[in-house]
Structure 1
Amino acid sequence: MRENQVDEKSIRTLGYGEVLSRLGRYASFSASARLAEMLRPGTDDETVRRNLARTTEARRLLSVNDAYRLGGCVDFRPALLTARKGGTIEAKAFVDIAATLAAARDVRNSLLAHADTYPLLAETVGEMIPPVGMIERIHRTVTERGDVLDSASDALASIRREIQVAYGRLLDRLQRLLRDARYAPMIQEAIITQRSGRYVIPIKAEYKNQLKSIVHDQSASGLTLFVEPLATVDLNNAYYELQLRERDEVIRILHELTMFLADYAEPLERVVERLAELDFIFMRAKYADAIRAVEPEIVPFAKGTNLPVIRLYEARHPLLPPERVVPIDVAVEPGIFSVVITGPNTGGKTVSLKTVGLMILMAQSGLHIPAQSGSALSVFQNVFADIGDEQSIEQSLSTFSGHMTNIIRILRSATAKTLVLIDELGSGTDPEEGAALARAILEYMIEKHIPNFVATHFSDLKAAAHATAGAINASMQFDLKTLRPTYRLIIGIPGRSNALMIAKRLGLAPSILESAERTVAPDSTSGADLLDEINRLHELARRARSQADRARSLAENERREWERRIEEVENEKERILNETYAETQSELASLRDEIARLKRAYVNARLPLDSIRELEGGVRAIREEEKKVEKAIGKTAAKTSRALLKDRPFRVGQKVRVLSLGSESLATLSALNGDDAEVQLGMIRLRIPVSSLRHPNQDDEDPVPARPPSEKAPSPVFHPSPGLELDLRGMNGEEVVAPLEKYLDDASLAGMPFVRIIHGKGTGKLRQAVRQILMSSPLVKMIERGKDAEGGEGVTVAVLRGD
């Protein structure tokens, strides 16, 4: 949503402003804090995806460097405005400018150096380039405390030397007066102080006419006068005049530096903007970590039906206390765009509506959402909400009039690309008329294909949702054993008010309850009982589905992680091949140069016959060597080409068949090195030719020839696996060194591609110690924070280097 599109009243109702307020607490400086205040949801799918991906990159960076922050940065754009207007920037402001530019330079260099790992963050700082020489010039002019240096100009250095001389003369004259015995009875205290910018001495008031002087001040009691002896007036004047000259020269220097900044105002503003944008990305990352959020998948509106996708797993309202919030699942089937939620008034319908709305607003703002992996959302052009009675309070209208005024406004703007959330549709008036009006509004939204979530207690709306294509009932679960709501949303089943049960829990007299139960129609009671049974069965199914979804999500995350790590290995392999090819080409060029040199020597030199024959022999030898190198290059290039073009290249970690062993048993491919491979068969590790490998379902084309009798079978090398995980919880930083280093050695020898180190969360000291050891180990290629399913911050994954 562009800022001019967003419905401010609705996002305020949903609590979006409070989310931004909490996000702003993670700002490093004011410019990024303002970005949080002004943040509004986007409406372009690709932009939303990139913003979410930037947040993900920042979280990955924080997982390996949780102390990363932009400290010491200041939004100095007001100072640039002063410069553009021809004013003069104060010296202290230059200190802040230099510190901010230095921070921008350092973080830019750091991210560009890791552009392969953090491409989106590197892109963000690409234009964050401080003007050349700017930081150095400020440092040559101003100290870190904000004082202009003597070396800023020759004139300033000269004036300050004169000031030192004048100051010395003035103090010397005043000290001689204080030491003079003739004046000792007059002196109140033998000190030199300042009043009105002049150096004075304190005398007793009764002696004011006995010492020729100028009175500048007196004590509160009137017993002490602070006077400037006439003998020091000229010295004070000279000192003061030099101070004025110094002030003028400092102003001139600062103004000259200000004009220098004004010439670079645009690139300097760009530095602040990019720095604020980068810090804003890290703010989103830190907030996501704090609320245990995930990156949702952004999916387009469904083709054909043009309907949105809303799939939330265990979504949690981000503003409720974590210990109180109850996660909800909202997985609407394809083709459904209207959800009618029913159930008891205290059951959590309003919170569910707000949770759905906030999840969408947060995702479209580049914020990760507090839900489980696998959650997916479409991008809406706007979100409208009529929840609570805020509108009636603002407009001094009745509850019904306030709601209806807001709903009319919403329906005028709502489209098939917007989302409408309405709480207690049709309430606040006569039940019969309210139900009829609510049904008509619901049918209008369904007819116009306006995606909506509606909470109600009217039975007519349940029937409408059941009978209308594109609509579905939902309910808030009620625990029949405890007679309390569970606050869980159940899609597909209408709810019941449970008014009698709630009244019983609240303590209504049994006699009244019995009378009410006799009044309720038997058909209604039996239908409610049937709904209760359906709800019970649905809860059992929900739990089973939830377990299956979590298992599937975990498996999918593991698959993606393996694919990413395999891709890294493939890229590294290709890089090594290319480097080898380039080195071989360089050697070949050197050989050709040597041949040319020998030919020139052969033609031009007048040499004895033996020397000529020796040269000819050298040429032939070099040509033979050249042919060998060219043949090797050809083979390498052909292998590289086949590796890149082959439909199914072998990848480290996959299952393979080893034909040379005459067995159909599957082994794990643990390493690839040119034409050689290493496979793991249980506890046995074998080195064999790649040509002996086949994919599990691959035909045995190009069968491997029988091994000659003289050829030895591959000799197995036993390297037992130490296991995928090492648990170091309960140890301190010194105790983990030996077992961790041994574990890394064993894992490397066993050919394991990665390992997990469990250190727990705690204070973070053990995590820091473990990661320091891992980062300094030559056996470790890179480290990452564990996935949520693996233990999150309590686990570090180390990717090991191959042989």
Structure 2
Amino acid sequence: MNDKILNTLEYYKMIRSLTGFAATSLGKKRTEELRPSGDLAEVKSRLQATDEAVKVERLKGPAPFGGIRDVKAAVKRAMIGGMLNPAELLDTANTLSGGRRLQRFVKAVHEDEAIPLLSAAVDRLTENRPLEESIQSCIDEHAEVTDSASPELYRIRQELRTGEARVRERLEQMIRTPSTQKMLQDPIITIRNDRYVIPVKQEYRSHFGGMIHDQSASGATLFIEPESIVQMNNRLTELKLKEEREIEKILRMLTAQVAEFAEPLLDNLEALADIDFIFAKAGLAREMKATLPLMNDRGFFKLKKGRHPLIDRDTVVPLDVELGNRYTSVIITGPNTGGKTVTLKTIGLLSLMAMSGLFVPAEDSSQLCVFDAIYADIGDEQSIEQNLSTFSSHMTNIIGILRNMTPKSLVLLDEVGAGTDPAEGSALAIAILEHIHKLGCRMVATTHYSELKAYAYERKGIINASMEFDVQTLSPTYRLLVGVPGRSNAFAIAERLGLSRAIIEHARHQVDEEDQRVESMIATLEENRLTAEAERKSAEQLHEEVAALRKELEQQRSRFEEQRARLLAKAEQEAAEAVKKARIEADEIIADLRRMAIEERSSVKEHKLIEAKRRLDEAAPQLNDKGQRPSSTSAGRSTKPIGPGDQVLVHSFGQKGHVVELNGDSEVTVQLGIMKMKVARSDVELVSTSAPKPAQQTVVTGVKRSRDDQVRTELDLRGNNIEDSIIEVDRFLDESFLANFHQVYIIHGKGTGVLRTGIQDYLRKHRLVKSFRLGNYGEGGSGVTVVELR
């Protein structure tokens, strides 16, 4: 693609816009060198890089390019032995530091989101912390060599500062002397030729001796270095020369380090230029609100709401156009200023942008094609920036296009055949379009000739299009209408402007009858199109409303199902916890019963205890891993009729119960534990038809023991051994607890104290004993233990 076509399609204006988003001079140079590519793989790679940069900016914000400078010239000068100045060395160190920050930034994003191309680009950056730190330790942020750059420089500058202070002190004493002040123009100290001087009046020039370094414009003031400080100034000059030599030594040392790292530095600059260029494309995409186009090399493109990027986004009319599927050529007709030329430029410029790796201002999933070349003959007669096109200039451009185009080219022709006799021009235009169409190029052409409307209508693979024009307002709408040829609208416009109806009717009779039929057909087509478009918009609106309602219903159903499952799981969990708690308590009671049966030799039946435990286990709801009831297949359900008293399984609760009564054909009342509830007949499954068991059963155990009918508050154990006494104490405490006694007395006597000790050891571990003590005076003393129950 030559520069003339790129300029015609305003490609270079886009490049200038892109350059404004580059953060460094390196990136700006790279953007200025950008040109479209005809290789599909390269174009896809360019677009992928831009997409990655857009993703980075969306997730983490702008990339850090601070401190990065184009030091290529300085590095190359260091390679050939030149000496870099402090500013160039500081820029080199800052560029190394900035590249390191940028690398760390991109790598951090790559850990969270895949950005392979940008990650590979920053992998090209090479660090050199020693060089970076060496430069920064010798040169400060103002590009000045620091005192600490070398011990010798530190010594020289210390001596220099001391010498300057002495010179100023000597001069200060001199200008403060009253006899000297009258000889001075001003009592100040100044510098001329790097030497300290004082301003002396002309008539006192011989009083101070020394050297004259300068004089005022009027000659009334001489800047004299007094003889008394000449030697001191000489010493300062000598120190300054030493300082300059030491600084040069330091700079050459640093320059040598840069020269050693020159090749990696130059590679870094190339990588930084590429990275800045990629992020500049992302910045342009953000500014234009552009999207990633889908690319192909099949000659197919489909723009959805495509906008010319150089026209204000608030005023531009979006463009919808497709080419390369059902038809390969589009012929656009319509009045001047209707937007035909803008349409051509939009198609051409957006194709060039996509082939350059730039996002395009269009809707998502727009498709564009990689052409081997784009040719354009566009004479913008409405632009004052260009000369008016002539027939010869048009023909020169078209001949060049016909000579160079290939089946994979895109050809854009504006006002083809214009500038000559209409009959000859239309015939020539048809011949040119036919030649391009037969070659297989993708072509978009604009024209005023009505003969081309019929040509496009008759040829397969070519379609008419027009720019919409509102006759009521006498203004174009700039909308492209594919499939509908344009009308001239000359008579309608003239009538709206007030031209006599008689003149208009006379003009109508001058038009060929065939042309009148074509205009009438176009008018009918346009009317049908407007009606169809209105109906389509109405249908789309209804479709959107139905889709929104359907989405809302789906969300409500999903929320209901989630809430139902959550409540059901919660209820089952609570039931399981209640049963678990009951099982623990039952286990404790059964354990107590067994112990009492053993201790008192009672006749508790073990199989009854096991049966009670089994019923308790069966009462627990069965939960699956997700807290839901296990499902039952319909194949496993009994088909026998259900009647009152039958044992059934209620699937919605996962519990077994007994049918109390039938409520019609659809519901049954079921006894589940202590609850009665109505459930659907389809939700129950017959387990057995045996007679129903009571809702609550009491496990009766017979515990035989010998005791008085009247429960007493004291137990006399005198004369018993320890084993028998402990059995009696345990029975006595149980009876006292059930009788709701809070304090009881155990009489064991004093004796040797063995019985008392054994009983008190047992009391310490008993579950019903809160505390115990020996009896007080009047209670029996140490022969009685007083027990306080819980």
Structures share a fold, TM > 0.5? Answer: yes
Structure 2 CA distance for partners of 1:311 and 1:540, relative to 1, 3 Å: farther
Picking from 15, 28, 34, the partner of 2:29 is 34
Name the CA distance, whole Å, in 1 between partners of 2:462 and 2:264.
54
**Counterpart of 1:439?**
430
Name the CA distance, whole Å, in 2 between partners of 1:382 and 1:217.
71
Cα displacement string for residues 507-528 of structure 1 (whole angstroms, at most 9, x for unaligned residues): 6565543432332234433431
Q: What is the RMSD of the two structures over their aligned residues, measured on CA atoms? A: 3.8
Deviation at 1:317, TM superposition (A): 0.8
Name the CA distance, whole Å, in 2 between partners of 1:714 and 1:237.
109
Q: 1:131, 1:268 within 8 Å by CA — same for their partners in 2?
A: no
Name the CA distance, whole Å, in 2 between partners of 1:553 and 1:339.
32
Structure 2 CA distance for partners of 1:536 and 1:137, relative to 1, 3 Å: farther
Aligned partner of 2:134: which letter? R
Picking from 69, 91, 108, the partner of 1:113 is 108
Q: 1:688, 1:714 within 8 Å by CA — same for their partners in 2?
A: no
**Counterpart of 2:408?**
417
Aligned partner of 1:205: which letter? Q
Aligned partner of 2:119: which letter? A
**Counterpart of 2:46?**
51
**Counterpart of 2:460?**
469
**What runs of 5+ residues in structure 2 fail to find an aligned partner?**
548-553, 570-622, 638-647, 656-790
**Counterpart of 2:678?**
none
Q: 1:332, 1:491 within 8 Å by CA — same for their partners in 2?
A: no
Structure 2 CA distance for partners of 1:530 and 1:554, relative to 1, 3 Å: same
SS of 1:209's equivalent in the other structure is helix
Q: 1:288, 1:369 within 8 Å by CA — same for their partners in 2?
A: yes
**For residues 480-499 of structure 1, what are the structure 2 equivalents within 5 Å?**
480-499=471-490
SS of 1:208's equivalent in the other structure is helix
Aligned partner of 1:313: which letter? K
**Counterpart of 2:395?**
404
Name the CA distance, whole Å, in 2 between partners of 1:223 and 1:187.
11
Deviation at 1:348, TM superposition (A): 1.0
Deviation at 1:378, TM superposition (A): 1.5
Structure 2 CA distance for partners of 1:375 and 1:684, relative to 1, 3 Å: farther
**Counterpart of 2:154?**
157
**Counterpart of 2:195?**
198
**Residues 1:22 and 2:17 are matched in the alignment:** yes
Picking from 227, 230, 234, the partner of 2:224 is 227
Q: 2:333, 2:467 within 8 Å by CA — same for their partners in 1?
A: yes
Aligned partner of 1:226: which letter? F
Structure 2 CA distance for partners of 1:680 and 1:45, relative to 1, 3 Å: farther
**For residues 108-187 of structure 1, what are the structure 2 equivalents within 5 Å?**
108-116=103-111, 117=113, 118-187=115-184
Structure 2 CA distance for partners of 1:435 and 1:711, relative to 1, 3 Å: closer
Q: 2:629, 2:653 within 8 Å by CA — same for their partners in 1?
A: no
Q: 1:218, 1:226 within 8 Å by CA — same for their partners in 2?
A: yes
Name the CA distance, whole Å, in 2 between partners of 1:141 and 1:58.
36
**Residues 1:318 and 2:309 are matched in the alignment:** yes
**Counterpart of 1:273?**
270
SS of 1:188's equivalent in the other structure is coil
Aligned partner of 2:225: which letter? E
SS of 2:316's equivalent in the other structure is coil
**Counterpart of 2:685?**
none
Cα displacement string for residues 210-242 of structure 1 (whole angstroms, at most 9, x for unaligned residues): 221211111233221111112211211110121
Cα displacement string for residues 176-222 of structure 1 (whole angstroms, at most 9, x for unaligned residues): 32234442321222211101221101111110122212111112332
Deviation at 1:25, TM superposition (A): 1.6
**Residues 1:100 and 2:91 are matched in the alignment:** no
Cα displacement string for residues 712-733 of structure 1 (whole angstroms, at most 9, x for unaligned residues): 9699xxxxxxxxxxxxxxxxxx
**For residues 641-790 of structure 1, what are the structure 2 equivalents within 5 Å?**
689=625
Picking from 528, 535, 542, the partner of 1:537 is 528
Structure 2 CA distance for partners of 1:373 and 1:684, relative to 1, 3 Å: farther
Q: 2:24, 2:69 within 8 Å by CA — same for their partners in 1?
A: yes
Deviation at 1:336, TM superposition (A): 2.0
Deviation at 1:447, TM superposition (A): 1.4
Q: 2:84, 2:251 within 8 Å by CA — same for their partners in 1?
A: yes
Deviation at 1:330, TM superposition (A): 0.3
Name the CA distance, whole Å, in 2 between partners of 1:364 and 1:701.
61
TM-score by length of 2: 0.67
Structure 2 CA distance for partners of 1:144 and 1:419, relative to 1, 3 Å: same
Aligned partner of 1:36: which letter? T
Deviation at 1:541, TM superposition (A): 4.4
Q: 1:314, 1:328 within 8 Å by CA — same for their partners in 2?
A: yes
Structure 2 CA distance for partners of 1:688 and 1:521, relative to 1, 3 Å: farther
**Counterpart of 2:450?**
459
Structure 2 CA distance for partners of 1:177 and 1:7, relative to 1, 3 Å: same
Structure 1 stretch 104-113 or stretch 474-483: which is displaced more? 474-483
Name the CA distance, whole Å, in 2 between partners of 1:527 and 1:194.
94
Name the CA distance, whole Å, in 1 between partners of 2:147 and 2:409.
64
**Counterpart of 2:581?**
none
Q: Percent identity?
A: 40
Q: Give the number of equivalent residue pairs.
A: 584
Structure 2 CA distance for partners of 1:342 and 1:395, relative to 1, 3 Å: closer
Structure 2 CA distance for partners of 1:394 and 1:346, relative to 1, 3 Å: closer
**For residues 368-383 of structure 1, what are the structure 2 equivalents within 5 Å?**
368-383=359-374
Deviation at 1:314, TM superposition (A): 1.0
**For residues 351-390 of structure 1, what are the structure 2 equivalents within 5 Å?**
351-388=342-379
Picking from 74, 82, 91, the partner of 1:79 is 74
Name the CA distance, whole Å, in 2 between partners of 1:120 and 1:350.
38
Q: 1:131, 1:267 within 8 Å by CA — same for their partners in 2?
A: no
Q: 2:291, 2:360 within 8 Å by CA — same for their partners in 1?
A: yes
SS of 2:304's equivalent in the other structure is strand
Name the CA distance, whole Å, in 2 between partners of 1:379 and 1:553.
35
SS of 1:351's equivalent in the other structure is helix
**Counterpart of 1:334?**
325
Q: Which has the larger radius of gyration?
A: 2
Deviation at 1:539, TM superposition (A): 4.2
Structure 2 CA distance for partners of 1:405 and 1:68, relative to 1, 3 Å: same
Name the CA distance, whole Å, in 2 between partners of 1:60 and 1:145.
37
Aligned partner of 1:428: which letter? G
Name the CA distance, whole Å, in 2 between partners of 1:93 and 1:704.
87
Structure 2 CA distance for partners of 1:143 and 1:114, relative to 1, 3 Å: same
**For residues 264-303 of structure 1, what are the structure 2 equivalents within 5 Å?**
264-301=261-298
Structure 2 CA distance for partners of 1:357 and 1:540, relative to 1, 3 Å: farther
